[in-house]
Amino acid sequence: MSKKESFIKGTIILAVAALVARVLGLAQRVPLEHMLNDVGDASFTIANNVYLMLLTVATAGIPSTLSKMVSERHALNKPAEAQRVYQAALIFAGAAGVVMTLLLYFGAPYYATHVAEVPESAAAIQALAPALLLFPAIAMMRGYFQGRNNMSAGGISQIVEQIARVLTAIGLAYVLLQLGYDDTWVAAGASFGGVLGSIGAFAVMLYFAAKLRRSDREQKLPSADRSIPLGGIYKAIFTLSIPIVLSSLAVPAVNFIDGSIVKPLLTGEIGAARATEALAVLGTRAQSVAGIPPILAIALSTSLIPIISAAFARRDQEHLERQVTLAMRIGILTGMPVVIALGVAAYSVNGLLFSSLGGSGIIAFLTFGTIFQITMMTTNSILLGIGKAKLSMIHVMIGVAVKLAASFLLAPLFGIYGIIGSTALCFLVITLLNIRSIKTIVSFSILGSRWLGFLCTVVAAAGIGYGLNQAGIQLVEVIPARLAFLLTCIIVGIAVVVIYLVLLVVFGVIRQSELGNYPRPLQKVFRPLMRLAPSRMRERG
């Protein structure tokens, strides 16, 4: 297998693993929402947000840096140096795991009571804390295996982690509920699923590590060169990884902020019980549904990032411009129909998946804002691809500051919708700053003169989808409610996607002449539709 084929195969493995893990992670929220009340949902949300924030700080960026350093040293035939780099990373992972676990466990009561103002969440945070003992090491091992061109190890460990996490979370929560424990302990049991997930992932990585050690012994590769000082290795690792770590914090930081401020900001306006309810809906329902649109869009657009990196390295400005434009278009065009369908059908989605219809507006509003999350993540990836991680880091920090300030300004005026609006504003600010920086390096246009056609497509698809949803929910009068909501979701989803795709072609947003540049799955979707395009649009680029 050629290096190019191996790289493509590895990219596909990691993308599929990430998609499966993301879907499994989202899937666990639905049964848990049915088992828990508002306090339990809020507790689980707070614990998960704090944990993901600390995990991102402890690991994000370092695995990719480690992968780069290891692959470079093996390419230079310096395996002993590569082993020393790996050894240094594992030492850091062990120390970071202990520090983060102790910080999370002993800091939980104070944070839950005095910051988030949901004291019941302390047990859920503490139950999840031990997972941080292993996850930094798991992240380093994944990075090392990627550097050794073994993508399967990390991909399989991700899937096993999520399966163990979801099954344990749901199973333990159900058992505790049947035994009569209150929601504080049921939420803690659900959170403990993360610990079992970490054990499952660690076991997979140990299995692959043992296989790799046997292979290295057979090839008589040398062990780690202990003469190389750890200080120099850590300096190289952190110089490269800190900007990536901070760039990766946007979504975890926003969720952490929401978990910390929703109840303190809203209690005075609507009371403690309703503020807890709003946090429960936001964390368990809205964030679960709003997590769906970015999955496909980000997977497709970021698949172009290695191509962008290569074009930038070759200084092929024309190709770079074309690929940056394509990445942005794919992110927006593939994300928008999912945003529209879930947004206009939020009431039916809520009724289908969750235990009540409350909070449908929160789900809809947060879901519509995810289009800016998609553009933010795509532009962040582009900046990383062209070696501008520090710019991405600065823009994320500015966006998070905007999010925090806007939340305090808008919450008294609009309640939970003000807090959700500040999230969309945060992602929009980061997107605009990223685009401005990218344009100083490469001239590109996302849609150019096609924005009007795109906006007409969005408005038409959303309007028809909303009308179908309003008609569909009338079915609850004649058939069981969940069946009515299921049929409505299916009808709205199909109608929105079909109308959206057809109008993209009719309005000339997608054109025949450029179709060959798109990923093959999108080509297969659009080629049959090109007969609907006005003749003048079929030829224009």
Neighbours of 438 (CB within 10 A): 19
Contact 224, 84 (CB under 8 A): yes
- Which pLDDT belongs to residue 440? 92
Per-residue CA distances from 94 to 56, 80, 131, 205, 231 (Å)? 15, 21, 12, 15, 16
Q: What DSSP designation does 225 have?
A: -
Residue 183 CA from chain centroid, whole number: 27
- Which pLDDT belongs to residue 1? 47
d(CA 44, CA 53) in angstroms, rounded, equals 14
Angle (deg, nearest 10), helices 121-128 and 183-191 = 20
SS3 368: helix
For the purposes of burial, counting CB atoms within 10 Å of the CB of 112, is it exposed (0-12), middle (13-18) or buried (19 or more)? buried
Contact 250, 380 (CB under 8 A): yes
For 145, residues 6+ apart whose C-beta sits below 8 A from its C-beta are 151, 153, 154, 205, 208, 212
- Which pLDDT belongs to residue 2? 45
Contact 244, 65 (CB under 8 A): yes
324's tokens: 């940056």
451's tokens: 């924005």
d(CA 293, CA 373) in angstroms, rounded, equals 9
* Amino acid letter, 77: N
Angle (deg, nearest 10), helices 346-353 and 317-344 = 70
* Amino acid letter, 538: R
- Which pLDDT belongs to residue 217? 87
* Amino acid letter, 158: Q
Which position has the token pair 């804390």?
129
Please choose, from the candidates 17, 3, 21, the residue with its C-alpha nearest in 3D space to the C-alpha of residue 291: 21
- Which pLDDT belongs to residue 430? 97
- Which pLDDT belongs to residue 3? 47
Q: What angle do CA 200, 202, 208 make, to 5 degrees?
A: 110
Q: What DSSP designation does 133 have?
A: H
Contact 156, 17 (CB under 8 A): yes
- Which pLDDT belongs to residue 406? 97
d(CA 167, CA 296) in angstroms, rounded, equals 25
SS3 292: coil
- Which pLDDT belongs to residue 4? 46
Instruction: Report phi then psi at 137, rounded to 5.
Output: -65, -40
- Which pLDDT belongs to residue 535? 62
Please choose, from the candidates 226, 136, 123, the residue with its C-alpha nearest in 3D space to the C-alpha of residue 184: 123
User: What DSSP line would sit under 142-153, residue for residue?
Assistant: HHHHHHTT-HHH
Please choose, from the candidates 404, 515, 504, the residue with its C-alpha nearest in 3D space to the C-alpha of residue 453: 504
Residues in the chain: 541
Please choose, from the candidates 281, 255, 266, the residue with its C-alpha nearest in 3D space to the C-alpha of residue 47: 255
Residue 226 CA from chain centroid, whole number: 38
- Which pLDDT belongs to residue 303? 62
> Mean pLDDT of residues grouped by 10 in the chain (541 residues)?
49 66 77 91 92 78 82 84 91 92 95 93 95 92 86 85 92 94 94 94 94 88 82 87 85 93 94 94 92 76 67 82 87 93 97 92 96 93 85 95 97 96 97 95 87 96 97 94 96 96 91 77 81 62 44
For the purposes of burial, counting CB atoms within 10 Å of the CB of 229, is it exposed (0-12), middle (13-18) or buried (19 or more)? exposed
* Amino acid letter, 527: R
